[in-house]
Amino acid sequence: MLSESLPDCWMHLGKLRVLNLENNKLSGNIPSSLGSLDQISTLRLSNNSISGILPSSLKNCSLLRLLDVGQNNLYGEIPIWIGDYLTDLIVLHLKSNRFYGSLPLSLCQLSDIQILDLSLNDLFGVIPRCFHNFTPMIHEADDSDYGTFVDGIDSSYIIDPSRGYGRIFVNYAYITWKGKNYKYDKNLRLLRIIDLSSNKLSGEIPTNLTNLVELVQLNLSRNYLSGTIPESIGKMKLLESLDLSHNQLSGKIPMGLADLSFLAFLDLSNNQLWGRIPTGTQLQTFAPSQYSENRGLCGPPLNVTCCGDGKLQETSTSCETGAGRNVEEDDEEWVDMSWFYMGIGVGFGIGFLGTCGLAWYFNTSWRRIYFNQLLGRRRWRTSHYGARLRRPL
């Protein structure tokens, strides 16, 4: 295992094609001389303790197909030059660093990108609408497009201490799946992934993101995304993993989600979704926890019955109404309206009595009639009780 800092002597290795120094104890900054490797196609520095910023000299490495500097202590904004100069990138891993700022629009120029992992940083702002420009995520790519990215490379151009100095180098990538890292090599060309999880992104999920019909995994969890899940998400027929949990998404779950027959992992928990969970071949097979902490969701696999099922509520009084609202909300509205009508009744009664009282006060003839009647009742009562007292025992 290598330690200390990276040497600053890379200008002497101009023909280097692959540099793999991942999973070591390297520290310090990335030396600017790495930018002199103008023939390099794979650069792996992940899982070290490298700090500082990405040096702008790396923009000279225009043949890079894979750049992985994840799991370090790098900081600063994601450089604009990545999208402007490294346009051949297929894999970009910047995960688990301290990058901040908004997502640069120049990333949309990575027309060959297949795996984009910017998770576990401090990125904020909205998801660029131009992310739908990623060609391999829209159209099925020809294997020839990957050239030597996956196939053999002459070992004389490789520095890879973890693999020795054999004749064949097969590229690979670590993919986070259900919270665990998995290694993909020969199947790498089949993967198309976007992972923007665990940042501070806000705004709505761009509708045109669903144009990425070749996408296999989409992870936007643990952000501050709002609005609804795009209705057109049903177009993403190849999705195998979708994680939108821990956001502020609202509205109903789109019916099209039930059409994703390849979906093996789904997490919509900790949002503000409501309504009936669409019935499909996949959605009822996921654990109830994948839908938990959503006020108003009902139907299988949750133990909450929707209105119209002809069954009693089992664990919650929340169910969907024909108007798409919750019974709880309707009950609250009914209580509010009942108080409103009670207030009208009381107000009418007080107003009526007040009007009669004022009329009685200002009309002297009414007052005489009232007092004469009152005086007559008293005289009758007095004579009645007096007669009873004079009656012999």
What pLDDT, in 10s, does the model give residues 214-250? Answer: 999 999 999 999 999 999 999 999 999 999 999 999 9
The answer as to whether 261 is a domain residue is: no
∠360-364-369 over CA atoms, to 5°?
Answer: 80
Residue 155 pLDDT exceeds 50: no
pTM score over 0.85: no
Angle at 220 between CA 214 and CA 226, to 5 degrees: 120
Assign 12 a pLDDT band (cuts: 50, 70, 90): confident
* pLDDT higher than threshold 70 for residue 263: yes
pLDDT tens digit sequence for 26-54: 999 999 999 999 999 999 999 999 999 99
**Is residue 182 within a helix (H) or strand (E), and if so which, with residue range?**
strand 180-184
Of residues 227 and 156, the one with the higher pLDDT is 227
Dump pLDDT digits (tens) for 312-358.
344 554 555 433 444 444 444 444 555 555 666 656 566 655 555 55
Residue 238 lies in a domain: no
Reply yes or no on whether the pLDDT at 277 is more than 90: yes
Q: What is the C-alpha to C-alpha distance for residues 34 and 31, in angstroms, rounded to an integer?
A: 6
173 vs 181: CA distance, rounded Å: 10
Among 73-82, 167-176, 308-317, top mean pLDDT goes to 73-82
Q: Which two tokens stand for residue 206?
A: 């761009």
Question: Residue 132: exposed, middle, or buried by beta-carbon count in 10 A (0-12, 13-18, 19+)?
Answer: middle
Answer yes or no: is 250 within a domain: no
3 state DSSP class of 67:
strand
CATH number where 58 lies: 3.80.10.10
146 assigned to some structural domain:
yes
Question: Is pLDDT of 363 > 70?
Answer: no
Q: Distance between terminal CA atoms of the chain? A: 125
Answer yes or no: is 52 within a domain. yes
The whole-number average pLDDT for the span 11-39 is 92
What's the chain's average pLDDT?
80
pLDDT at residue 133, rounded to an integer? 87
Q: What is the DSSP string of 350-372?
A: HHHHHHHHHHHHH-HHHHHHHHH
pLDDT digits (tens, 9 = 90+) for 192-210: 999 999 999 999 999 999 9
Name the amino acid, one letter, at 335.
V
CA 125/CA 118 separation, integer angstroms:
14
- Enclosing domain of residue 213: 3-226
Is residue 19, in this structure, part of any structural domain at all?
Answer: yes
Is the pLDDT confidence value at 156 over 50? no
Q: What is the pLDDT of residue 206?
A: 96
* 337 falls within a domain: no
For residues 248 and 273, give the distance between their C-alpha atoms in angstroms, rounded to a whole number: 9
What is the domain count for the chain? 1
Give the list of residues 6+ apart from residue 44 with CB closer than 8 angstroms, or none: 19, 20, 21, 22, 66, 68
Per cent of the chain over pLDDT 90 is 56
Q: Which phi and psi angles does 267 have, rounded to 5°?
A: -140, 115
103 vs 86: CA distance, rounded Å: 16
Which has more confidence, 381 or 173?
A: 173
User: Considering only 2-6, 17-21, 146-150, 170-174, which range has the smallest mean pLDDT?
Assistant: 146-150
Side-chain half-sphere CA neighbours of 31 within 13 A = 13
Half-sphere exposure of 219 (CA within 13 A, CB side): 24
Please report, rounded to a whole number, the percentage of residues in the chain having pLDDT higher than 70.
65
pLDDT of residue 295: 87
**Residue whose structure tokens are 């019974």:** 327
Residue 354 lies in a domain: no
pLDDT at 110: 96
